[in-house]
Amino acid sequence: MNQSINPNIALSTLLSAYLDQQQLAAIENITITGMNLDSRAIQTDMLFVALQGGQTHGLRFAKKAEQLGAAAVIWESSIENETNIELPKLGIPLIAIEHLSNHLGNIAANYFNHPSRDLNMVGITGTDGKTSVSHFIAQSLNSEFTDTCRVIGTLGIGSPDKLQTATHTTPDVISVHSLLQQQKVSQARSVAMEVSSHALDQGRVNAVNFNTAVLTNLTRDHLDYHHTVEAYAAAKEKLFYWQGLDNIVVNIDDAMGLRLAKDRANSEMRVIAYGLNPPSDLPKGVELILAKQASFDHRGIIANIVTPIGESVLTAPILGRFNLSNLLAVLGVMMSMDYSLDKALAQIKSVMTVAGRMQRIQAPLLSASTSSSHQQDSRLLVVDYAHTPGALEQALLALREHTQQRLICVFGCGGNRDTGKRALMAKKAEALADEVIVTDDNPRNEDASKIFRDIKQGFKKLEKVVFEHDRNTAIRLAVKRAQAGDVVLIAGKGHETVQIVGNQKIAFDDREVAKMALQEIRL
């Protein structure tokens, strides 16, 4: 990540909590101008941080960092790995810090002067909805104070309409604090940050001063990394016990959200719960946001909202029942910031669909008609990032409410990822769609035909499913089959602009292919 605003600081000051006096004296004349985990990004007088990785230790790249001008190297030591590490011979200080990865968040926060303390930090976690919620928060807050809320997440970093490219949902911990400093310097007041389970497990947000933690939901995902749903949930749960947290905003239609609301109800923090189906046993002290009598059409969502601060009507030009849930999360965050209900809903009304998240591409009218008959005379084509069983289920359930005729689903499963979810996604698609077309997602280095075989295990009636490896052909087929009143969901890749096959990244955008397919129908 770019670190364009780096202070100069004495290395002995930065590491004073981790070294003895003799060690500190040996580096008292060293001043660093930056710090980085990537040896390739090292510049003159920067500090290279060498951590123990899953496959190798960062010390392997220490010599390269020295050649690029590093002033010093700090490296992660432990009883477990010291006997297996060969220390490089360097002409710069090589400083061992036991279990460095546990301390790096504090070191980075100190280096960048704790920028998160001066920002209203909202951390959003959950299996699905993190990106939409973070962008909806920023859009809503920015409708009052232009460009004062930034996002850090899957789609990028910065203002929602001027994003810098991101490589991970949540960057490494040094980059996180660097990016927060950049947002602070550029006059941001708030940051809505997606916080992945990987980030929480690996300490990538350590020492970030979160004010509010949001849970969207918890369904099966990332078991290739966490191995069990319990371990996955435990990683997510860390955010809701964060030191210094003021508020939690949780989805009580989700089992984990309901449990967190109950567990944290008697804590010193403010507990705001949101949902469409309230439980009867919600503890006192939990503030409940409830949506009732929701309606969905091609224009978006309308719902009656009941809260502890009043009742009103929520409207927004986006699709899907789960997006209503996402908007309730946004309302909860704004309530935690002491917005009035009317003001919050007025600002939420301006939100727009996030790229690749229930993003619609509407077909031209099949015949001349008035705007009132628009919905009946058109197809609706939707591109969504849904790539888990839970997300696919929610997308299909949401679009069913917008469907007058048939619901057609195009989906696939990525290679080198959790194989157990493939059959589950097939079951969801078969149960909830009228027609299903299975295609390649990102096969990566896995045999695409093997992925198909795994997916097929979830179908009861294979003869009714179309299997087409070529994603371009599959999308065109779905659009060609769609008639007036039909809805087509193209799931899995959303905003992505490449197809990963082997080690190659081939230009491919579901949205562009869908647009071309619609144009072909016009001819």
DSSP for 315-344, written as a single string? EES---HHHHHHHHHHHHHHHHTT--HHHH
Contact 210, 239 (CB under 8 A): yes
- Check whether 134 has a pLDDT greater than 50: yes
Cα distance between residue 372 and residue 319, in whole Å = 18
Q: What percent of the chain has pLDDT over 90?
A: 75
The tokens of 315 are what?
């409207």
pLDDT band at residue 229 under the 50/70/90 scheme: confident
Spatial separation of the C-alpha atoms in residues 328 and 257, rounded to whole Å:
14
**Which pairs with CB-CB distance under 8 Å and at least 24 residues apart come from 300-303?**
301/327
153 with 194: CB under 8 angstroms?
yes
- In tens, the pLDDT along 358-378 reads 998 864 444 444 344 344 447
d(CA 6, CA 112): 7
Confidence at 222, pLDDT banded by 50, 70, 90: low
Range list of H helices, 68-126:
79-82, 100-111
Q: Which domains does the chain have, with CATH numbers?
A: 9-111 (3.40.1390.10), 115-348 (3.40.1190.10), 359-522 (3.90.190.20)
Instruction: Compute the C-alpha angle 358/132/224, nearest 5°.
Output: 90
Cβ contact 215:237 at 8 Å:
no
pLDDT for position 226: 53
Higher local confidence (pLDDT), 445 or 299: 445
Query: How much is the pLDDT for 82?
Result: 59
* Calpha distance 220→418 (Å, rounded): 10
| Per-residue pLDDT reduced to its tens digit, 464-503 | 999 999 999 999 999 999 998 899 999 999 999 999 999 9
Residue with tokens 């001027």: 162
The whole-chain average pLDDT of the chain stands at 91
CB atoms within 10 A of CB 473: 13
pLDDT tens profile 38-87: 999 999 999 999 998 878 899 999 999 999 999 999 999 986 665 577 89
Tokens 């959950």 belong to 126
161 burial (CB, 10 Å; 0-12 / 13-18 / 19+) is exposed
Closest CA to 286 of 325, 326, 335: 335
Rounded Cα distance between 479 and 437, Å, is 11
* 103-116 confidence digits (pLDDT tens): 999 999 999 999 99
Please give the model's pTM, rounded to 2 decimal places: 0.82
Would you state the structure tokens that stand for residue 509, as one six-digit string? 């955008």
228 has pLDDT over 70? yes
Please, what sign has the CA dihedral across residues 508, 509, 514, 516? negative
What percent of the chain has pLDDT above 70? 92
Residue 519: predicted pLDDT = 86
Report residue 53 as tokens: 């990785």
What pLDDT score does 375 carry? 41
In degrees, rounded to 5, the angle at the alpha carbon of residue 385 between the alpha carbons of residues 301 and 471 is 125
